Amino acid sequence: MQKALSYVRRAVDTYGMIKENDHVTVGVSGGKDSLVLLAALARLRSFYPKHFRLSAVTLDMGFPGMDYSPIARFCEEIGVDYHVKKTDIKEIVFDIRKESNPCSLCAKLRRGALHDAALELGSRTVALGHHNDDVIDTFLMSLIFEGRVNCFSPVSYLDRKGITLIRPMIYMPERYSVGLASRLGLPVVKNSCPADGNTKRQYIKDLVARLEKENPGFKTRVFTAVVHGNVGGFGTADKIL
């Protein structure tokens, strides 16, 4: 946990992600990354000089057979308020709209539902579990599929809803997230989405893995380019991994 926690604190400090008395809501999908983020922020909360409150929200997309009780027990163990918000996202995307490329619409609906859930809890800071590999993948997806030099931001303020999005795991390589989730025995819930593993993002992840194998250090160089180019506001980073 110590190494992972150092990545999270570095991001929080570098980009001023958490202010005194913030109420931070973690979007917990049930995947390893959001659970690692939740565990790290719960640990950070115990000693960080700026006091903050922590909650967790899982969106019930409407897929049958989903059981979030292990996540609820984990949150109870670490002293975090946990909430499951029921949505009709699965019905809209797959049953009504019958989207052939569902990811964009699904992501839009999930963002809106998560933001609304945070506001209902009185929280205006939402933490997302995007790690360092996600930064690289998103940058390359934008470049390859959209012809744009773009990426999500470490911190984003949504003025329409008055919510600040933070991504405290942007320095953490995915391999640390995988290892920590296993070591801590985190209650990972399998993704029931029929599009899981068959997306443009998965294509990019496979491409990046091949390029890293053929050109060691490829991922670090891409992240360096994102920071030095101030893509998505990464330019205030203190140094490169």
Tally of domains within the chain: 1
pLDDT of res. 207: 96
What span, in angstroms and rounded, lies between the C-alpha atoms of 227 and 3? 22
Q: Supply the DSSP string of 102-148, one letter for each residue.
A: -HHHHHHHHHHHHHHHHHHTT--EEE----HHHHHHHHHHIIIIIS-
The confidence score (pLDDT) of residue 70 equals 93
Q: Where in the sequence is the domain holding 204, given as residue range(s)? A: 2-233
Predicted pLDDT of residue 94? 73
Tell me if 33 is assigned to some domain.
Answer: yes
24 lies in a domain?
Answer: yes
Mean pLDDT of the chain: 89
pLDDT in tens, 216-231: 999 999 999 999 999 9
pLDDT category at 48 given cuts 50, 70, 90 is: very high
- Asked whether residue 11 is domain-assigned, the answer is yes
- Using an 8 Å Cβ cutoff, are 129 and 34 in contact? yes
CA 2 vs. chain centroid, Å, equals 20
Question: Does residue 171 sit within a domain?
Answer: yes
Q: How far does Cα 150 stand from its chain's mean position? A: 17
In a domain, 163, yes or no: yes
pLDDT digits (tens, 9 = 90+) for 185-210: 999 987 666 665 557 888 999 999 99
Give the pLDDT of residue 99: 63
* pLDDT at residue 97, as a whole number: 67
**Chain-centroid distance, C-alpha 88:** 21
Residue showing tokens 């959001």: 34
**pLDDT given for residue 238 in this prediction:** 47
Tens of pLDDT, residues 83-118: 999 988 877 877 776 666 667 777 888 899 999 999
The Cα angle at residue 61 between residues 29 and 166, in degrees rounded to 5: 35
Query: Is residue 121 in a domain?
Result: yes
> Integer distance in angstroms from the first to the last C-alpha of the chain?
18
Which CATH number fits the domain that encloses residue 77?
3.40.50.620
| Contact of 232 with 156, CB cutoff 8 Å | no
Q: Where are the beta strands (DSSP E) in the chain?
A: 22-27, 52-60, 81-86, 125-127, 155-158, 163-166
Burial group, residue 118, by CB count within 10 angstroms (0-12, 13-18, 19+): buried
Task: Give residue 150's pLDDT band: very low, low, confident or very high (50, 70, 90).
Answer: very high
Q: Give percent of the chain above pLDDT 90.
A: 71
127/73 Cα distance (integer angstroms): 20
Whether 241 maps to a domain, the answer reads no
Question: At 91, phi and psi to the nearest 5?
Answer: -65, -45
Is 64 a member of any domain? yes
pLDDT of the residue at 146: 93
Residue 239 pLDDT level (bands cut at 50, 70, 90): very low
DSSP state of 92: I
For residue 176, the SS3 value is helix
